[in-house]
Every structure is written in C-alpha cells, then in structure tokens.
Structure 1
Amino acid sequence: MSETIVVLTEQPLLDADAANLTALHPDRDVDFHVVLPTRTGRSLLVELIDRLSLFELPERARQEQGARRPRPEQALASSLAVLQRAGVAATGEVAAEKPVDALVTAVQAHDAREAVVITAPHAVEDTFHTDWATRAQDKLGLPVLHLYSGSSFIGDS
C-alpha cells in the first residue's frame, strides 16, 4: 500500500521539484497530493523586502508583475503533469483557505505522515521562522520539509 506525501506549493512545480520529491523515498511506494492555494496571503511590504534582499531590481519586479501568472487551476494541472512525467501518482486540489490550513486539512484527510512545502526563498519569513513549513510543522507535529523551488536547497524550518 502506498503512502501519501502532501505537497504545498505557491507556484507550478518544475521538473527539478519533481526530481527532488521522487528522490525522498526511492525505496517506498509514495503518492503525492499537491495543494496549491488561490492566494498566498503575503503582504506587499514583505514581498518588497524579499525582492530587495534577493537583489532583484525594480525593473525585474515590474516585468514579473506584467507577466501573467497562471490561474491556480492551470498551475495545479501543470504540477500534476510534471509529477506524472516523473513516474509518480499524483492528485491535487486548489485551496481557497489559508495555505497552511489547507495543508493541515490535506494531511489529515490523506492520513499523511509527511509533508513538503515548496516555495521561492522568502527572506523575511525564513529569517523569522514564519514561513509555511515552520507554521505547518508547529500545527501538525509532523516532519515538514521546506524546499526552494527549482533547486535542491532546503529551507531552515
């Protein structure tokens, strides 16, 4: 019987994210359930500080704002396709509730013993341990791995 790992992500998963997820338990039968929130709930001020701390120039930030972000349903479909191409079974949901609350609900619904949060680096939240992974671990009492999207870097949760 397979285990389910619940994955909370703020953006569509990339091939590198799928590779990181499938490498977690190569010796066990694992399914993934992806939770993608409709809103991240991030403050504009915190977002600005994060961008400045990562040395992102205001011009780049304007370009990113001008680029259309995929709708949550599209981002979820893309994420599931990436996981399926990696050879793993995956389901998912778009969550209207707060991201961490949605993760907790999904972990309980799937009787998961493990959760993974995949985000971009967020300097303010990561520094002050208010990131999704830390908050989820506090609520769940389970291991919550925090990976940075598109890389093999692990957040300090």
Structure 2
Amino acid sequence: MQDYDVVLLVEQALSPADGAQVHSLHEGLDQPVTYHVLLPLEDASARVEAAMGSLAAGEVMASPAMAMNDVDLDAVRQDCKDRADADLKTTIASLSASGATVSGAVVTESPIEALAKKVAEVDGREAIILTRPHIVAEFFHVDWTSRARRKIGVPVLHLLEHENFDEQAGGCEGVSGL
C-alpha cells in the first residue's frame, strides 16, 4: 500500500497541539500517512535591515550604512540557521509525539518553490501551510496559501499556527477579537 504523502510548509515551530491537530486530519485514512515538513530559513540580511528600519533615524544613528558596518552578518546568519534548525526539530518532535511519521528540512529557496518541488518529489497528495495570520497578504492573495494554490496541483489547506480548529472556524479564519 502506497503512503499518503502530505507536505507541510511551516512558518515557525509547531507546538504539540499543532502537531496533534495536523495528524488528526488524516486519522481515518486506510493508507499510512507520511508528513514532509519544510521550514524556510529566514534571510539574515532582511532581518538586520528590518531591525535597523525599526530604529528611529537621526538621533539614534548617523546613517544606516554606518550602523550596518557594526553588524556581524555571519553571526546573524548563523543565528537564523540555528533558530530554523531548532524550530524544525521542535516541529518534527511535535508531529512524532502524536504518532505521525515525519521528515523535514530547512529550505533556503522560495518557500513556494520548495513546496512545489517537494510535492512533485514525493508525489504528495496534499499540502498544508501553517502560518501566523497575515491579513493584508491574504486580502491581496499574495500569501503563501494563495500562491501555492496557483502553483501546485494538489489540495492546499491553510491552518493558523497555535489556534485550534474551533478558533479557526470563525469568519476571519482564526483571527479572534475582530
């Protein structure tokens, strides 16, 4: 019997509750299910630029170029890699704790390109994208889920990390309090 392969694209580490929730989606299948987790590596340069942009200009620093000279970009890159590796390890452990068969990788290419490649490689039957809410990107259909639906030929489910199914069932897909 062939495995039912599910490719997961995650934005951050999944909690044990997230792992159990994802695994529960496939409990009724007769085939064994294998999960393939992809976690994008955060771009160190973008992280530094975003941090610099959040500082008040003028009084706090003379110029962004001067401040960038003091940044050890290699150390930031290593920190990003270490965090991604730790998040992937946590995610695999969370899914495994629910009884799932799982493998995973940190990816450096475009998340949607990596997802499409992995779906093709393992003959994936579906893709699940787990993110924090990104209301503006979702509104303009440039979020990972919208882009994946246009790119790959399998069903794509979008779940919000750290929210159970009941919290996601509202009219704002997981955004409570609006």
- Distance across 2 between alignment mates of 1:27 and 1:123: 32
- Distance across 2 between alignment mates of 1:140 and 1:39: 23
Output one character per residue of 1:78-132: Cα deviation in whole Å (capped at 9) or x when no partner.
1101111110100001100011111111111111010000000011111111110
**Deviates most, 142-151 or 32-41:** 32-41
| Runs of 4+, deviation exceeding 6 Å | 40-43
Partner of residue 37 from structure 2, selected from 25, 34, 39? 34
Residue 7, structure 1, aligned to residue 40, structure 2: no
- Distance across 2 between alignment mates of 1:113 and 1:21: 15
Contact 2:8 2:128 in 1 (8 A): yes
> Which residue is equivalent to 1:121?
133
Residue 112, structure 1, aligned to residue 115, structure 2: no
1:17 Cα deviation from its structure 2 partner: 1.4
Unpaired stretches in structure 1, ≥5 consecutive residues: 49-67
1:143 Cα deviation from its structure 2 partner: 0.9
Partner of residue 153 from structure 2, selected from 138, 141, 151? 141
1:16 Cα deviation from its structure 2 partner: 2.1
> Which residue is equivalent to 1:83?
95
Output one character per residue of 1:50-71: Cα deviation in whole Å (capped at 9) or x when no partner.
xxxxxxxxxxxxxxxxxx8861
Contact 2:8 2:36 in 1 (8 A): yes
Q: Which amino acid aligns with 2:90?
A: S
Unpaired stretches in structure 2, ≥5 consecutive residues: 55-78
Q: Which has the larger radius of gyration?
A: 2
Q: Alignment partner of 1:71: what SS?
A: helix
1:141 Cα deviation from its structure 2 partner: 2.5
- Distance across 1 between alignment mates of 2:20 and 2:96: 11
Q: Alignment partner of 1:137: what SS?
A: helix
% identical equivalent positions: 37
> Which residue is equivalent to 1:58?
none
Partner of residue 73 from structure 1, selected from 76, 82, 85? 85
- Distance across 1 between alignment mates of 2:146 and 2:154: 11
> Which residue is equivalent to 2:62?
none
Aligned residues: 134
Q: How much is the aligned-residue C-alpha RMSD, in angstroms?
A: 2.4
